[in-house]
Chains A and B, each alone.
Chain A
Amino acid sequence: MANTQAKIPNEAKKKVNVKNGLNWLWSEYSVIIAFLLIFIIASFMSPRFLDLNNQLNIFMQVSIIGIVSLGMTVVMLSGGIDLSVGSVLALVGVITVISLNASGNILIAILTAFVVGSFAGFLNGLMIAKGKIASFIATLGMMAAARSIALYTADGGSISGEVSGFTAIANRDIWIIDYPIIIFLVMTIFVYLLMQKTRFGRYVYAIGSNEKAALLSAIRVDRVKIGVYTLAGLLVSVAAIIETSRLNSISSSSSGSAYELDAIAAVIIGGTRMTGGRGKIIGTFFGVLILGILNNMMNLMNVSPHLQGFVKGLIIIVAVVFQKRD
Chain B
Amino acid sequence: MSSNSFITMNNIEKAFNGVPVLKGVSLEVEKGEIHALLGENGAGKSTLMNILGGVIEPDRGTIEVNGEEVRITDTRSSQSHGISFIHQELSMVTDLRVYENMFLGSELRNKLGFLNVEEMCVQTSNILAELGVEINPKKYVRDLDTSYKQLIEISKALLHNSKLIIMDEPTSSLAEHEVKRLFDLMRNLKQSGVSIIYISHKLKEIKAVCDYYTVLRDGNVVGSGEVQVENLDNITKLMVGKSISEERFNHYSELGPVALEVTDMMSEGLFKAIDFTVRKGEIIGFIGLAGDGRTELFESIFGYRRKYSGEIKVNGQIVKMDHPYQALQAGVGFVPKDRKENAIIKDLSVIHNMSLSSLGHFEKSGMLQAKKELNTFQYYKEKLNIKVNNPRITIDKLSGGNQQKVIIAKWLEVNSDVIIFDNPTQGIDVGAKREIYQHIIELAEQGKAVIILSSEASEVLKLCQTIHVMYQGEITARLKGEETSEDEIMRYATGFRKLRYNQAFR
Does residue B378 face the partner (Cβ distance < 8 Å to A)? no
Complex CA–CA separation, A217 to B344 (angstroms):
10
Does residue B431 face the partner (Cβ distance < 8 Å to A)? no
Q: Determine which of A17, A210, A212 lies in contact with B18 in the assembled complex, contact meaning CB atoms within 8 Å.
A: A17
Q: Determine which of B218, B342, B367 lies in contact with A216 in the assembled complex, contact meaning CB atoms within 8 Å.
A: B342
Q: What residues of A have a CB within 8 angstroms of the CB of B367 in the complex?
A: 193, 197-198
Pair B342/A213 contact, Cβ less than 8 Å: yes
Does residue A218 face the partner (Cβ distance < 8 Å to B)? yes
- For residue B187, give the distance in angstroms from its CB to the closest CB of chain A: 37
Within 8 A of B (CB), among A59-118: none
Q: What residues of A have a CB within 8 angstroms of the CB of B19 in the complex?
A: 4-5
Q: Closest A-chain residue to B328, C-beta based?
A: A218
Pair B348/A209 contact, Cβ less than 8 Å: yes
Complex CA–CA separation, A187 to B80 (angstroms):
54
Does residue A246 face the partner (Cβ distance < 8 Å to B)? no
Pair A210/B356 contact, Cβ less than 8 Å: no
In the assembled complex, 25 residue pairs joining A and B whose CB atoms fall closer than 8 Å, in A order, are: A4-B19, A4-B219, A7-B20, A8-B18, A20-B17, A197-B367, A198-B366, A198-B368, A202-B368, A205-B348, A206-B348, A206-B356, A209-B346, A210-B341, A212-B341, A213-B344, A213-B345, A215-B304, A215-B324, A216-B304, A218-B324, A219-B357, A277-B345, A277-B347, A278-B347
Pair B347/A209 contact, Cβ less than 8 Å: yes
Does residue B334 face the partner (Cβ distance < 8 Å to A)? yes
Does residue A214 face the partner (Cβ distance < 8 Å to B)? yes
Q: Determine which of A8, A19, A199, A216 lies in contact with B334 in the assembled complex, contact meaning CB atoms within 8 Å.
A: A216
Q: Closest A-chain residue to B336, C-beta based?
A: A216
Q: A205-B348, A213-B343, A278-B347 are in contact. Are A1 and B18 (CB under 8 A)?
A: no
Does residue B363 face the partner (Cβ distance < 8 Å to A)? yes
Pair A199/B368 contact, Cβ less than 8 Å: yes
Does residue B237 face the partner (Cβ distance < 8 Å to A)? no
Complex CA–CA separation, A19 to B15 (angstroms):
13
Does residue A172 face the partner (Cβ distance < 8 Å to B)? no
Does residue A56 face the partner (Cβ distance < 8 Å to B)? no
Q: Determine which of B18, B304, B342 lies in contact with A13 in the assembled complex, contact meaning CB atoms within 8 Å.
A: B18
Pair B324/A16 contact, Cβ less than 8 Å: no
Pair A218/B327 contact, Cβ less than 8 Å: yes
Q: Closest A-chain residue to B363, C-beta based?
A: A199
Q: What residues of A have a CB within 8 angstroms of the CB of B346 in the complex?
A: 209-210, 277
Q: Closest B-chain residue to A196, C-beta based?
A: B368
Q: What residues of A have a CB within 8 angstroms of the CB of B357 in the complex?
A: 217-219
Q: What residues of B have a CB within 8 angstroms of the CB of A212 in the complex?
A: 341-342
Within 8 A of B (CB), among A164-214: 193, 197-199, 202, 205-206, 208-210, 212-214
Number of interface residues of A (CB under 8 A): 31
Q: What residues of B have a CB within 8 angstroms of the CB of A217 in the complex?
A: 324, 343, 345, 356-357, 410
- For residue A247, give the distance in angstroms from its CB to the closest CB of chain B: 38
Chain A interface mostly helix, strand, loop or mixed? helix
- For residue A296, give the distance in angstroms from its CB to the closest CB of chain B: 34
Q: What residues of A have a CB within 8 angstroms of the CB of B219 in the complex?
A: 4
Complex CA–CA separation, A198 to B364 (angstroms):
10
Pair A209/B345 contact, Cβ less than 8 Å: yes
Q: What residues of A have a CB within 8 angstroms of the CB of B387 in the complex?
A: 1
Q: What residues of A have a CB within 8 angstroms of the CB of B356 in the complex?
A: 202, 206, 214, 217, 219
Residue with the greatest number of chain A CB neighbours at <10 A, chosen from B327, B348, B360, B387: B348
- For residue B2, give the distance in angstroms from its CB to the closest CB of chain A: 33
Chain A-chain B contacts (Cβ-Cβ < 8 Å), number: 88
Complex CA–CA separation, A213 to B342 (angstroms):
4
- For residue B305, give the distance in angstroms from its CB to the closest CB of chain A: 11
Does residue B389 face the partner (Cβ distance < 8 Å to A)? yes
Q: What residues of B have a CB within 8 angstroms of the CB of A1 in the complex?
A: 218, 387, 389
Query: 1/0 per position for B331-360, CB-CB distance to A under 8 A?
Result: 000101000011111111000100011011
Does residue B109 face the partner (Cβ distance < 8 Å to A)? no
Does residue A324 face the partner (Cβ distance < 8 Å to B)? no
Top 7 nearest A-B pairs by Cβ distance? A16-B18, A209-B347, A218-B328, A277-B347, A218-B324, A199-B359, A217-B357
Q: What residues of B have a CB within 8 angstroms of the CB of A209 in the complex?
A: 345-348
Q: Closest A-chain residue to B142, C-beta based?
A: A212
Q: Closest B-chain residue to A12, C-beta based?
A: B18
Does residue A130 face the partner (Cβ distance < 8 Å to B)? no
Query: 1/0 per position for A209-250, CB-CB distance to B under 8 A?
Result: 110111111111000000000000000000000000000000
Q: What residues of B have a CB within 8 angstroms of the CB of A210 in the complex?
A: 341, 344-346
Q: Closest A-chain residue to B218, C-beta based?
A: A4
Complex CA–CA separation, A4 to B345 (angstroms):
28
Q: What residues of B have a CB within 8 angstroms of the CB of A193 in the complex?
A: 367
Complex CA–CA separation, A7 to B24 (angstroms):
14
Residue with the greatest number of chain A CB neighbours at <10 A, chosen from B219, B302, B357: B357
Q: Closest B-chain residue to A273, C-beta based?
A: B347
Q: Determine which of B341, B343, B359 lies in contact with A202 in the assembled complex, contact meaning CB atoms within 8 Å.
A: B359
- For residue B267, give the distance in angstroms from its CB to the closest CB of chain A: 18
Does residue B183 face the partner (Cβ distance < 8 Å to A)? no
Does residue B437 face the partner (Cβ distance < 8 Å to A)? no
- For residue B204, give the distance in angstroms from its CB to the closest CB of chain A: 29
- For residue A60, give the distance in angstroms from its CB to the closest CB of chain B: 32
- For residue B454, give the distance in angstroms from its CB to the closest CB of chain A: 18
Pair B347/A205 contact, Cβ less than 8 Å: yes
Pair B341/A213 contact, Cβ less than 8 Å: yes
Does residue B497 face the partner (Cβ distance < 8 Å to A)? no
Within 8 A of A (CB), among B1-41: 17-20
Besides A5-B389, A217-B410, 18 other A-B contacts (C-beta < 8 A)? A1-B387, A4-B20, A7-B20, A8-B18, A16-B18, A197-B368, A198-B368, A202-B348, A209-B345, A209-B346, A209-B348, A213-B341, A214-B356, A216-B324, A218-B324, A218-B328, A219-B324, A220-B325
- For residue A262, give the distance in angstroms from its CB to the closest CB of chain B: 26
Complex CA–CA separation, A60 to B20 (angstroms):
50
- For residue A193, give the distance in angstroms from its CB to the closest CB of chain B: 8
- For residue B41, give the distance in angstroms from its CB to the closest CB of chain A: 12
Within 8 A of A (CB), among B362-416: 363, 366-368, 387, 389, 410
Q: Closest B-chain residue to A197, C-beta based?
A: B367
Complex CA–CA separation, A93 to B54 (angstroms):
57
